[in-house]
Amino acid sequence: MERYRSDLEGSLRRVYGDQVDAIWPRLEALLKRSFGERPTELRRLDEARLLRPDWLQAPEMIGYVAYTDRFAGTLKGVSEHLSYLEELGIKYLHLMPLLKPRAGENDGGYAVQDYKAVREDLGSMADLRSLAGELRARGISLELDLVINHVAEEHDWAVKAKAGYGNYRDYFLMFPNREQPDLYERTLPEVFPDFAPGNFTWNAAARSWVWTTFNSYQWDLNWANPNIFLEFVDIILHLANQGVEIFRLDAIAFIWKRMWTDSQNQPEVHDLTRALRAAARIVAPAVAFKAEAIVAPGDLIAYLGQRDHHGKVSDMAYHNSLMVQLWSSLASRSTRLFEQALLAFPPKPTNTTWGMYVRCHDDIGWAISDHDAGMAGTVGWGHRAFLSDFYSGAAPGSFARGQVFQANPRTGDRRISGSAASLAGLEAAETGAEVESALRRLRLLHAVTIGYGGVPLLYMGDELALTNDYSYASAPEHALDNRWMHRPQMDWDKAEERRDPQTSAGKMYAALRSLIQARQHLPHLHASIESRVMRSPNEHTLLLRRTHPQGNMLAVYNFTNEFQALPAWVLREVVGAYPRDAISGHEWNLTNEEVALEPYGAYWLIEQAH
């Protein structure tokens, strides 16, 4: 409390002013109670984390992201597959939304009805606790989603608000007529223009327009009400005491609303995150936060802490921009825009890390700014349109098999759904050579994310190169949402093929394993150091440099299906004449004039001691 009180109180005062005096005694009581309830083993973990505050930044950190039911049926089922995760080298498991959602359509669990109960078909809170314990015993941290922007309209708070009970209407943003909503709508974007247009929904029982950024059944919370803050401190600490170590702050950018803005990335978001983190540190210092802010690079960095917030907000944030650029360069065969986007990235605080990913459960939105596109010699809207055509398979010569998600005629945006393997050409591949190319593309994308210096987050099934699952179309609650095509069932038969080097699954698995093993032994990949992009003389290749006290590292990637040449001196200047490639183990000779990079080649060159 001594250590974090000023942080907690200061941030709260900036948001809530004098209302803090009224909530402070309740907050203190809540922290004391939660601390009292914290189990001994978790307190031991707290101590361990205080001794090793950089645990999330370590090169051994590798995450795996899965739906409990799709991976293993139930929470108990997950326990039976821990050796599978260990074999891959996993140190962190993100189980997709598993708290009790509303019945029927629930946005993949992102419409929570009860934050203190587990979805019944997956198990109970006791099962979650025991799974967390088993994971912990194997050195694997459990991550859960914290849906913080909205609740299901069936959540107790919303039910009470509809009934006009107590102060519960103040938990939400409710308006008697269209006057305010219409004003807000002038500057608000639409997240799901296709199946949930607009940002407000009429609720007859409450006789109000309710703020609903996402689906009409996901009611946005009113974070201007300090009771919401108290409720979430209670939820976070309750779950932390069950053994949850990392919280994914879902849609965090949206929690604070302001007229005449897009109501994203408002300064209060960062004060609130800082206050939540301080509360978590006081009771459960083992806990870390990951920001899910899919926003422009200039806005993103604030989620890891800028200026006064430096190092005091989230510990990790998704590197959405890098994921987008991976797919963009794969389609265009050029890395000019990739370089431009990374050059425009402000440095992150040294005690934070990026969440690196090739694919996740969501669609891919072409977050490419017109400015960056212009600087890279292309046109923003044209390139974005090309990418949508390419990845939906419509463009001539495309190897991808994705589908358009949420076409927005007003903005021209067309996001893309599809599994990594299908987007990279495995589904469309007919010849052995095409299969090889698709697998090489996937290996390349994983190499960039695993070798970047953040936490690689492997999405379930990608280790076996699983292709699209079209069965969603016959499930009524999923049929309208084609993101389900890349949320497949785990294929355990295919998983058996992982040891067979003749199969696609076996080749993918082996490629990933070798990247993961190389990463685990490379101190150069500690996240306290930044990867910096170097302008490459060859526009088809990407060069990422890491300046490390133990020697420099230079990652070299070829985004084409042909051999590419680079002048050797460009590499030699960074890693000397005889670097070692940490992936293959080979020593390179850079005394010649040129080096040749294999089709879709990926190399992590490490400067060697003389």
Render 172-211 in DSSP notation, one character per residue: B-EESSSHHHHHHHTT---SBTTTB-SSEEEETTTTEEEE
Least spacing, CB of residue 331 vs ligand GLC, in Å: 23
Can you give the C-alpha Rg of the chain in angstroms? 24
In a 13 Å sphere around the CA of 277, the CA atoms on its Cβ side amount to 27
- Tell me, yes or no, if 250 is annotated catalytic: yes
CB 180 within 8 Å of CB 212: no
Taking every pair of C-alpha atoms in the chain, what is the biggest distance, in angstroms?
A: 78
Q: How far is CA 365 from CA 34, 323, 377, 408, in A?
A: 40, 10, 21, 12
Q: 108 vs 425, which CB is nearer to ligand GLC?
A: 108
State the CB neighbour count (10 A cutoff) for residue 209.
22
Structure tokens at 590: 């850079």
Task: Say if residues 357 and 457 touch (Cβ distance below 8 Å).
Answer: yes
Return residues touching ligand GLC (CB under 6 A). 107-108, 110, 147, 214, 250-251, 292, 361-362
Minimum CB distance to ligand GLC, residue 277 (Å): 20
Tokens 């987008």 -> residue: 324
- For the bound state, the minimum distance from the C-beta of residue 150 to ligand GLC, rounded and expressed in Å, comes to 7
Cβ proximity to ligand GLC, 152 vs 444, nearer residue: 152
Catalytic-labelled residue, pool 292, 372, 427, 539: 292
Closest to 35 measured CA to CA, from 286, 270, 231, 225: 286
Given 250, 363, 427, 539, which residue is catalytic? 250
State in angstroms the smallest separation of the CB of 459 from ligand GLC.
12
Q: What are the structure tokens assigned to 302, written together?
A: 């604030």
The distance of closest approach from Cβ of residue 103 to ligand GLC in the complex, given in angstroms and rounded to an integer, is 17
In whole angstroms, the minimum distance from the beta carbon of 73 to ligand GLC comes to 22
Shorter beta-carbon distance to ligand GLC: residue 89 or 108: 108
Smaller CB separation from ligand GLC, 214 or 338 = 214
Compare residues 254 and 338 and give the one whose CB is closer to ligand GLC: 254
Tell me if residue 292 is catalytic: yes
Task: Please report how close the Cβ of residue 363 comes to ligand GLC at its closest, in angstroms.
Answer: 9
What one-character DSSP code corresponds to residue 121?
A: G
Quote the CA–CA distance of 210 and 169 in Å, as a whole number. Answer: 10
Angle between helical axes of 432-450 and 504-520 (0-180°, round to 10): 20
| Extended beta strands in 35-86, E state | 63-66
d(CA 363, CA 137): 34
* Chain residue whose CB lies nearest ligand GLC: 110
Pair of tokens at residue 48 = 């361990």
CB of 96 or CB of 240, closer to ligand GLC:
96
* Shorter beta-carbon distance to ligand GLC: residue 106 or 335: 106
The angle formed by the CA atoms of residues 333, 553 and 541, to the nearest 5 degrees, is 10
Residues taking part in catalysis: 250, 292
